[in-house]
Chains A and B, each alone.
Chain A
Amino acid sequence: MKRSKRLTALILAAAMLMIMGLAGCGKKTSEEPYTIDCYFVTGQVPTEGAKAEVETEVNKYLAEKNLNAKLNMHYLDWGSYGQKINVMIAGGEKFDFCYAQGDTYLSNAAKKAYMPINDLIDKYAPKTKEILGEEFLKGAQINGVNYGIPSNKDRGSYPGMLYRTDIAEKYGLTDKLNNVKTFDDVIPILEVIKEKEPDMAPLYESGVYSVAYLFPFDTFAFPAGIKLNGDGTKVVNYVETPEYREASIRTSQNLKDGYIHKGEKLENENHFMEFVTLKPGKDKEVSASRKYEYTQIDTMGTPYMQSGSAKGTNMAVSRTCKNPEVVMQFMELFNTDKYLHNLIVYGIEGKNYKKIDENTIDPIKNSGYGNAGMQWEFGNTFIDYLTVNDDPDKVTKMEEFNNNLTESPAFGFTFDSEKVKIEVGACQNVQAEFEKILSEGCDNPEKVLDDYIAKLKAAGSDKIVAEAQRQYDEWRAANGK
């Protein structure tokens, strides 16, 4: 008896839930604002409370602008971002747009994880298109399709070096350093440091960047790419270039000469110089996160806009997005409306940042929200407020930099690795085995390099180069280059 009563109660409760659920569904009409789910990567995940406050402000503003949408931001830290997004994509989960970085963007686009938005850009985001420029948007295309909106920021980069400002001043090396053109010019300076500061490593070698890094090369798929100092028609194997050989030998010589201290750690900051990818203001960015002040050397490389430059940072629209029209309208507003843009980037005035003047702010530490240092991720960085640490002329300098970039002959070309994916995978294993040894310096670089090349060949590097050449030739013919 008792049992049957309980059962009835359970059934009734279940029925109630269902009715409530149905009622809930019934209420949803076309008037309900569309929830835009977007995913960003960040170094410091905002607190739920602070994020909710920002979202409330954003939604209020969207309502004011008659955009029938609600923003639901999801922040993930660097460690979990890639995996989480890939799982969501593989699982077909609903989201509207996400930050997508170069390689992941290409591989997911090839698997049709994103939505083609060429027409939508024309229709709903004409101002954004104007800001980015026809050509840059075209450069962001994969086989003629735009899957996302690239960030509007520094559009190229160049190889160079950083040096410790205080040490350079101490020994009067600043003028010399600012005029170096090649690595050979750097050697006498390293010699001075070696002699005067015996405990300090004159040159730091991270295992990623080395002398080889100064050689301008546009990689399509490791190891295939084109030399930027050549005529740009021939695809070559990066590792087989004489420049790479020379650089590898030089690195090992640096180790032998005592410029590189084996096993030195970056976080100890016990070194004088290092290699980096440069853009205007890079040294300020680096110094902010370190103990000492560093200065960049701009004279060692030409700023290039590489084949992948326009595809590096995107807000990619997911194929699971239910209402791309509204999402594109939001993107247009986000990229052109200074208030909305800065609200999403820095948070709420007074709560997350203090306003210093019309265009400068000071982020409040530990306020729970704020993306200072990550502005590059968020669309049009030209309408960002400047922070107190920024160069006041940042925007004009960035514009000037972008206008003076040299375009790689392959700018806009995307290599489709589908046909050679087995070889690409095998070559990546070989790269992981040898590259670090060569870029850290070793006893017999020529022998190691020969082994490296031989093993790459066995892994199918020639096939990748040939396929890249075929696709590149086709692309050049189609684009009249």
Chain B
Amino acid sequence: MKTKEVKTTSKNHRKKNSLGGYNNKAYFMMALPGMLHGLIFCYLPLIGILIAFKDIDYSLGILKSPWCGLRNFKFLFSSPDTGIIFRNTLCYGAVGIILGAICPVALAVAFTKLRSKCVSKAYQTIAMLPYFISWIIVSYIVASFFDYKFGALNHLMKNLGREPIDWYSEIKVWPFLLVFLNLWKGLGYNAVVYIASIAGIDASLYEAAAIDGATSHQQTWYITLPQLSNIIAIMLIMSIGGLITSNFDLFYAVPKESGALFPVTNVINTFVYRSLKINNDIGMSSAAGLLQSVIGFILVTSSNFIMGKIDEDKAMF
């Protein structure tokens, strides 16, 4: 009895239900937890956007607090550092996105080229490791190299008979170091998506290419990369949304609050944190968050639009 029932349902998988739609109850049930999560944690809190335009008074609540127009946004633009923080945020963001699109793909291709599956898996695991280390711990690892008195680098300098350097006020080093750390930490994790997509490429394509005499290099260039281009485009569009929101932990914890490094480490997030740490003004912090979200939203939709213009398949929505 039961087995028969199962069979019929699987046969009439796309039978129309009474509402005229397809009967996708099972799929819907699977999606439900995620949708609920989205609704509760992403859409309901949107009401909080109001806070950005209000002069909050806890005794009146969010809705009844007086409006204050765009005053909460002003602090972001009226500091002598405004130019620097926007420049830093955008530049680190852009470099991160470009390297984040190239390096993980290269790594994924390299991993899949390895003949021994065992070695490939081992490398993948090792590459994943940094992703799971907290930025705070990374900041101490960095300090163990760069600390003035106890760091490995200055010990080396001393042994070589050179003057020790105060790395935490050496502005030139940090842009590279921060970019490197950010890349290093996410590289293995981001490569996973590409490794999975490469595994999904039809093997007959490679076989045909090999019979036609294509070298391994040519196979990568003419088969793997074009097959990956859609997923690369999607990842790129998604990461562009984060252009204006930099990683707070990276820019706050790793440079150890060294004032001398502010010209290259102060980004919007750290600026907001330092401005409001004492004032603790939720109106102003919401304003900063909202501004970043709106800019991110515009960037995502416009880059998606541009991608769609270039190649319809590459647009996400």
Contacts and interface: CB of A to CB of B under 8 A. Distances in A.
A92 B274 contact: no
B57 A112 contact: yes
Interface in A85-117: 86, 89-90, 92, 103-104, 107-108, 111-113
B150 A426 contact: no
Nearest to B260: A437
Nearest to A418: B55
Interface stretch (A45-53, A257-265, A385-393): A257-265
Contact of A459 (B58, B80, B149, B278): B80
A422 B272 CA distance: 11
A436 B75 CA distance: 24
Given A263-B147, A436-B259, A111 B58 contact: yes
A432 B256 CA distance: 11
B279 to A, nearest CB: 6
A331 B208 CA distance: 84
A432 B275 CA distance: 10
B149 A265 contact: yes
A426 B58 contact: no
A319 interface: yes
Contact of A425 (B57, B58, B279): B279
B218 interface: no
Contacts of B166: 262-263
B80 A425 contact: no
Interface string B247-279: 000000000011110100010000100111111
Contact of A424 (B147, B257, B258, B279): B279
Nearest to B276: A425
A113 B280 contact: no
Contacts of B80: 426, 430, 455, 458-459
A425 B284 contact: yes
A347 B269 CA distance: 43
Nearest to A454: B80
A428 interface: yes
Interface string A391-427: 0000000000000000000000000010001101110
Contact of B274 (A90, A319, A417, A429): A429
Contact of A112 (B59, B74, B257): B59
Contacts of A113: 58-59
Nearest to A112: B59
A433 interface: yes
A434 interface: yes
B79 interface: yes
Given A262-B166, A436-B259, A429 B282 contact: no
A429 B271 contact: yes
Contacts of B281: 107, 421, 425
Interface string A57-89: 000000000000000000000000000001001
A50 to B, nearest CB: 30
A367 B257 CA distance: 38
A425 B75 contact: yes
Given A422-B75, A422-B78, A429 B275 contact: yes
Nearest to B262: A433
B274 A428 contact: yes
Nearest to B78: A422
A319 B58 contact: yes
A90 B282 contact: yes
A76 to B, nearest CB: 17
Which of B58, B150, B271, B281 has most chain A Cβ within 10 Å?
A: B58
A262 B149 contact: yes
A462 interface: no
Which of B61, B150, B271, B275 has most chain A Cβ within 10 Å?
A: B275
B278 A107 contact: yes
B305 interface: no
A428 B262 CA distance: 13
Contacts of B282: 90
Contacts of B257: 432, 436
A37 interface: no
Contacts of B60: 112
Contact of A432 (B61, B75, B259, B280): B259
A428 B277 contact: yes
Nearest to B55: A418
A286 B271 CA distance: 34
B147 A421 contact: no
B86 interface: no
B81 A429 contact: yes
A432 B61 CA distance: 33
A224 B290 CA distance: 31
Interface string B35-62: 0000000000000000000001111110
A240 interface: no
B148 interface: yes
Nearest to A423: B78
Nearest to A457: B80
Given A107-B281, A112-B59, A459 B148 contact: no
A319 B280 contact: no
A458 B82 CA distance: 11
A417 B60 CA distance: 20
Contacts of B59: 112-113, 319
B275 A425 contact: yes
A269 interface: no
A435 interface: yes
Interface of B: 56-61, 74-75, 78-81, 147-150, 166, 169, 257-260, 262, 266, 271, 274-282, 284
Given A112-B60, A428-B275, 13 more contacts: A86-B280, A92-B61, A263-B147, A263-B148, A319-B59, A425-B75, A425-B274, A425-B281, A426-B79, A428-B274, A429-B81, A430-B81, A435-B259
Q: Which 4 A-B pairs have the closest CB atoms?
A: A425-B275, A263-B149, A263-B148, A458-B80
7 contacts: A103-B278, A111-B57, A262-B149, A319-B58, A421-B284, A425-B274, A460-B78
